[in-house]
């Protein structure tokens, strides 16, 4: 009888530990936003025509603002997202899209953008638009950017906010990843969102 009680207590403690572990809330690696409204919908140009954020309603959309001449942070972020998608099941990765908005419409034609983003993952989409339209979209997504002169008129850089934004299936901004987020962290949060 005594043995049964000891075993029971042991099983309960084990259950409690397992319960705490398995039912603990997911800790997102990005900052969670609890927006009461869907995020601002925009329409910009891709190599295949106009693309709206709302075209991808039903999928998780990562939005990144950058440009193809970007020497370091843009390729690093895009490579991490590409790797994160490759680490997931194909059916899961297919539920995610990345849209890169180019802040450099003078040099980044939609065709050039499509070729650039395709190097990181075949599902990535590259879009851009007029300066006026970009000013509106970037402002509403909290993205600051400005040209920084290079050695010649054609070699300027663009300083920009390097956050990676995650829009959920219903079109709400759900997460903001800071620059430096790792492949595993991106994959972990995306998998959790896909399973919700």
Partner 1 sequence: MNKHLLNGLYGLLGFIMVSVFAFKVFQPIQVLPRMQISPAFTFTDQNNERLTSEDLRGKFVLYTFMYTSCPAPCYNISETMQEVQSRLGEVQLDNIEVSFVTISFDPDHDTSTALQAYAESVNADTSRWHFATTANKSLLKTVIGSGFETYYEDKGDGSFTFDPSFVLVDGWGIVRAEYRYATEVSNADRILRHLGVLAEEVRNSTGSAKLAYEAAHLFLCYAP
Residues that bind partner 1 (CB under 8 A): 4-5, 7-9, 11-12, 15-16, 19, 23-25, 27-28, 31-37, 40, 132, 135-136, 138-144, 146, 161, 165, 173, 176
Looking at beta carbons only, is 88 or 157 nearer to partner 1? Answer: 157
Looking at beta carbons only, is 97 or 160 nearer to partner 1? Answer: 160
* The two structure tokens encoding residue 119: 């190097």
Minimum distance from CB of 41 to partner 1 (Å)?
A: 11
For residue 176, give the nearest of 139, 134, 142 by alpha carbon: 142
Minimum distance from CB of 67 to partner 1 (Å)?
A: 16
Q: How far apart are the first and last CA of the chain?
A: 44
Looking at beta carbons only, is 30 or 126 nearer to partner 1? Answer: 30
Which residues are CB-neighbours of 27 under 8 A, at least 6 positions away? none
Looking at beta carbons only, is 11 or 76 nearer to partner 1? Answer: 11
Distance (Å, whole) CA 133 – CA 121: 26
Minimum distance from CB of 137 to partner 1 (Å)?
A: 9
The string of DSSP letters for 46-111 reads ETTEEEEGGGGTTSEEEEEEE-TT--SHHHHHHHHHHHHHHHS-HHHHTTEEEEEEES-TTT--HH
Minimum distance from CB of 167 to partner 1 (Å)?
A: 12
* The two structure tokens encoding residue 117: 């983003």
For residue 150, give the nearest of 66, 70, 64 by alpha carbon: 70
Minimum distance from CB of 94 to partner 1 (Å)?
A: 27
Minimum distance from CB of 130 to partner 1 (Å)?
A: 12
Looking at beta carbons only, is 14 or 76 nearer to partner 1? Answer: 14
Looking at beta carbons only, is 139 or 182 nearer to partner 1? Answer: 139
Phi (first) and psi of residue 142, to 5 degrees: 70, 25
């Amino acid at each position: 009888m005594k043995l049964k009680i000891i075993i029971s207590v042991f099983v309960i403690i084990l259950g409690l530990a397992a319960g705490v572990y398995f039912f603990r809330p997911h800790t997102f690696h990005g900052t969670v936003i609890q927006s009461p409204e869907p995020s601002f919908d925009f329409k910009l140009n891709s190599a295949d025509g106009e693309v709206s954020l709302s075209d991808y309603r039903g999928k998780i959309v990562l939005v990144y603002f950058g440009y193809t001449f970007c020497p370091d942070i843009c390729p690093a972020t895009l490579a991490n997202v590409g790797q994160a998608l490759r680490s997931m099941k194909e059916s899961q990765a297919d539920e995610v899209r990345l849209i890169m908005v180019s802040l450099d419409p003078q040099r980044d034609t939609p065709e050039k953008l499509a070729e650039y983003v395709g190097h990181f993952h075949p599902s990535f989409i590259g879009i851009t638009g007029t300066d006026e339209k970009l000013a509106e979209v970037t402002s509403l997504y909290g993205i600051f950017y400005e040209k920084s002169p290079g050695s010649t008129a054609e070699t300027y850089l663009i300083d920009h906010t390097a956050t990676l934004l995650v829009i959920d299936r219903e079109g709400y901004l759900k997460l903001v990843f800071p620059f430096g987020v790792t492949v595993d962290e991106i994959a972990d949060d995306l998998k959790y969102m896909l399973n919700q």
